[in-house]
Amino acid sequence: MQRSFIVLLLLGLVRATLQNFTVDDTSPDIQYSEQTFQCNTTTCPDEALKGVFNSSVTLTNGSITFVYAGSAVHVFLDVIGACSINVDGIEIGGLNVTLAEAIAKEGSLPDIVAGPNVANGHHTLVIAPLTNRTIIAFDHLIYTATLGGATKSTNVGAIVGGVIGGIVLTVGALFAALYARRRKLILRRNQRKSAVLRGITAPRPDYKVGADDGAGLPT
Ligand SMILES: *[C@@H]1O[C@H](CO)[C@@H](O)[C@H](O)[C@H]1NC(C)=O
Ligand SMILES: *[C@@H]1O[C@H](CO)[C@@H](O)[C@H](O)[C@H]1NC(C)=O
Ligand SMILES: *[C@@H]1O[C@H](CO)[C@@H](O)[C@H](O)[C@H]1NC(C)=O
């Protein structure tokens, strides 16, 4: 029982230390190997930017590299052709879309490829075209990082929240355990009492044993 309290408390803490960071296609942290075309409110029709993060998408026929410290990564992109998405050289996903398919699913950019929970650490994400006629439309990505130096102040609140949440859960579980124990004690006492009374008062069927309401038991 006590061990599960600790696990609950730790779960609250672990969740609180994870944080998502969004990186837009225009970020200097994103490296493009080839020429790019930036599709934004001045270069593209509004139709093309529906549902797009920060109203910009970068088109390229080269690869896209992003180095980060964290764990899971979610890539929001669309493609005409085929591309693979790799973390540290291991493929975590990919897309293969024909021009006809891309036209048919009008306005549904971006697609989402969710990375698995990569172990926390330094990673290199590479989005690579698989044919030389592939066009990648990169919108943004979200990566998950554990508590970092740059965002301490915002995380303190989350940790405090996590700890308080953990304490509430613990106290709740403690009360539930005490209540169950109390009920068991009452039940056992009633059984004992009625067993004794059965022995003594068997010939007097009019005698009624009163139910114990648990008053006077230790809480
Ligand atoms: C991070 O973002 C992804 C994708 O939107 C989401 O599934 C995940 O729950 C988020 N994690 C945190 C810790 O906010
Ligand atoms: C949105 O785009 C503008 C202009 O490209 C950029 O300066 C800004 O940092 C972007 N916002 C986010 C949240 O990435
Ligand atoms: C993409 O899918 C088509 C069939 O839909 C297949 O012929 C082609 O080989 C695939 N391309 C890659 C690079 O996987």
Ligand 1 atom nearest residue 19's Cα: 13
Q: Tell me the C-alpha to C-alpha distance, in Å, between residue 21 and each of 96, 122, 140, 150.
A: 27, 15, 10, 12
Residues in the chain: 219
> What's the predicted TM-score (pTM) here?
0.64
Q: Report the candidate in 10, 6, 14, 12 with the shortest Cα–Cα distance to residue 173.
A: 6
- List, for residues 3-53, the tens digit of each pLDDT value: 555 555 555 554 448 899 999 999 999 999 999 999 999 999 988 888 899
- % pLDDT > 70, the chain: 61
pLDDT at site 209: 58
pLDDT at site 153: 45
For ligand 1, say whether the CB of 186 is within 6 Å of any of its atoms. Answer: no
Q: How far is the CA of 24 from the centre of ligand 2 (A)?
A: 7
DSSP string, the chain: -HHHHHHHHHHHHHHHHEEEEEEETT-TTEEESS-EEEEETTTS-GGGGTT-GGGEEEEESS-EEEEEEES-EEEEEEEEEEEEEEETTEEEEEEEE-HHHHHHTTT-PPEEEEPP-PPSEEEEEEEEESSTT-EEEEEEEEEEEES-GGGHHHHHHHHHHHHHHHHHHHHHHHHHHHHHHHHHHHHHHHHHHHHHHHHHHTT-TT--PPPP--TT---
Q: Report the candidate in 58, 72, 2 with the shortest Cα–Cα distance to residue 30.
A: 58
Ligand 3 atom nearest residue 82's Cα: 13
Q: How far is the CA of 64 from the centre of ligand 2 (A)?
A: 18
| Encoded tokens for 136 | 């990648």
For ligand 1, say whether the CB of 142 is within 6 Å of any of its atoms. Answer: yes
- List, for residues 131-187, the tens digit of each pLDDT value: 999 999 999 999 999 864 444 444 555 555 555 555 555 656 666 776 677 777 777
pLDDT at site 70: 92
Of all protein residues, the one whose alpha carbon is nearest to atom 2 of ligand 1 is 20
Is pLDDT larger for residue 4 or for residue 198?
A: 198
pLDDT at site 137: 94
| Range with top average pLDDT, 69-73, 159-163, 189-193, 201-205 | 69-73
For ligand 3, say whether the CB of 130 is within 6 Å of any of its atoms. Answer: yes
Which ligand gives the minimal distance to the CA of 82? 3
Q: Report the candidate in 126, 120, 119, 140 with the shortest Cα–Cα distance to residue 91.
A: 126
Mean pLDDT (the chain, rounded): 78
Pocket-forming residues, ligand 2, beta carbon under 6 Å? 24, 26, 54, 56
Lowest mean pLDDT segment, chosen from 58-67, 115-124, 205-214: 205-214
| Encoded tokens for 216 | 């006077």
